[in-house]
Amino acid sequence: MAALVAVLCELAIALPFLVISPNTLRGVPGPLLVVIGVAASYLLGPWFGVPVTAVGVVLAVTIVGENAWAAPLVWLPVSVGAGFVGERVRHGDELRRELIEELRRGLVGIYRDPAVGRLNVVSRYIPAVSAQRIAGDFYGAVVQPTGDVAIMVGDVAGHGPAAAALATRLRAMWRGLAVAGVSDSETVSALNETLLAEQQRIASQIPFATLCLATVAADLRSARIVIAGHPPPILVTARGTHEDTHPPGPAIGISATSTWAPHPLALPDDPWSLVVYTDGLIEGRTSPDGPRPYGRDRLLPMLATFAVPIGEDDVDAVLRSVQDANGGALPDDVVLITASPR
Amino acid sequence: MASSIVFISAILEDPLADPEAVSVEQVEGASVIALRGEHDLSTGPAIEAACDSAWAHSSSIVFDLAGATFIDSTVVGVMVSARRRAAESGGSVAVVAPAGGPPARVLTLVGINDVLPLHETRDEALRTISAPG
Q: Which of A155, A158, A250 sits opposite B114 (nearest CB)?
A: A250
Report the b/e string of A237-272 with b at 16+ CB within 10 A. beeebbebeeebbbbbbbbeebebebeebebeeeeb
Q: What is the mean pLDDT of residues B70-90?
A: 92
Q: What domains sit in chain A, N to C, each tagged with a CATH number?
A: 2-100 (no CATH), 109-341 (3.60.40.10)
A90-97 long-range contacts, Cβ below 8 Å, gap at least 24?
A: A96/A132
pLDDT for position A273: 97
The amino acid that residue A293 corresponds to is P
**Substitution target from A289, A292, A294, A333 for chain B, most B beta carbons within 10 A:** A292
pLDDT for position B78: 94
- Structure confidence by residue, pLDDT tens digits, A4-51: 666 666 666 656 655 555 555 554 554 565 566 666 666 666 566 656
Nearest CA to A180 out of A142, A154, A225, A140 is that of A142
Confidence tier at A1 by pLDDT (50, 70, 90): low
Confidence tier at B71 by pLDDT (50, 70, 90): very high
Instruction: Give me the residues paired with residue B26 across strands.
Output: B31
* Angle between the N-to-C axes of helices B73-89 and B44-57, in degrees from 0 to 180, rounded to the nearest 10: 20
Count the alpha carbons within 13 Å of B28 in the hemisphere toward its beta carbon.
11
Q: In what order do the strands lie in the sheet with A234-237?
A: A115-116, A119-126, A334-341, A272-277, A234-237, A240-243
- Structure confidence by residue, pLDDT tens digits, A257-277: 999 999 999 999 999 999 999
Instruction: Give me the residues paired with residue A180 across strands.
Output: none
Q: How far is A257 from chain B (nearest CA, A)?
A: 11
Q: Which of B69, B77, B111 sits opposite A207 (nearest CB)?
A: B77
**Interior angle at CA A68, CA A63 and CA A71, nearest 5:** 75
Do the Cβ atoms of A124 and A310 come closer than 8 Å? no
Nearest-by-CA chain A residue for B106: A229
Confidence tier at A201 by pLDDT (50, 70, 90): confident
> Is the pLDDT higher at A189 or at A27?
A189
Do the Cβ atoms of A133 and A103 come closer than 8 Å? no
A252 DSSP assignment: B
Nearest CA to A195 out of A174, A225, A179 is that of A174
The amino acid that residue A167 corresponds to is A
Are B76 and A249 within 8 A, CB to CB? no
- Structure confidence by residue, pLDDT tens digits, A118-127: 999 999 998 8
Q: What domains sit in chain B, N to C, each tagged with a CATH number?
A: 18-130 (3.30.750.24)
pTM above threshold 0.90: no
- Structure confidence by residue, pLDDT tens digits, A208-225: 999 999 999 999 999 999
Look at residue A100 and tell me whether its pLDDT is greater than 80: yes
Nearest CA to A191 out of A162, A206, A171, A205 is that of A171
Q: What number of helices (H) and strands (E) belong to chain B?
A: 5, 7
> Is the pLDDT higher at A216 or at A66?
A216
Cis peptide before A293 (omega within 30 of 0): yes
Q: Which residues of A touch B115 (CB under 8 A)?
A: 250, 254-255
Nearest-by-CA chain A residue for B79: A207
Do the Cβ atoms of A325 and A121 come closer than 8 Å? no
> Is the pLDDT higher at A252 or at A67?
A252
Do the Cβ atoms of B111 and B74 come closer than 8 Å? no
Our CA dihedral for B104, B106, B111, B112, rounded to 10 degrees, sits at -70
Does A284 lie at the interface with B, CB-CB under 8 angstroms?
no
Q: Which of A130, A231, A332 sits opposite B72 (nearest CB)?
A: A332
Q: How far is A62 from chain B (nearest CA, A)?
A: 38
ipTM attached to this prediction: 0.83
Residues of B with CB under 8 A from a CB of A: 3, 6, 10, 38, 40-42, 69-70, 72-74, 76-78, 80-81, 84, 102, 109-112, 114-115
**A77: CB partners within 8 A, 6+ apart:** A12, A13, A15, A16
Does A289 lie at the interface with B, CB-CB under 8 angstroms?
no
Nearest-by-CA chain B residue for A160: B41
The 3-state DSSP class for residue B9 equals helix
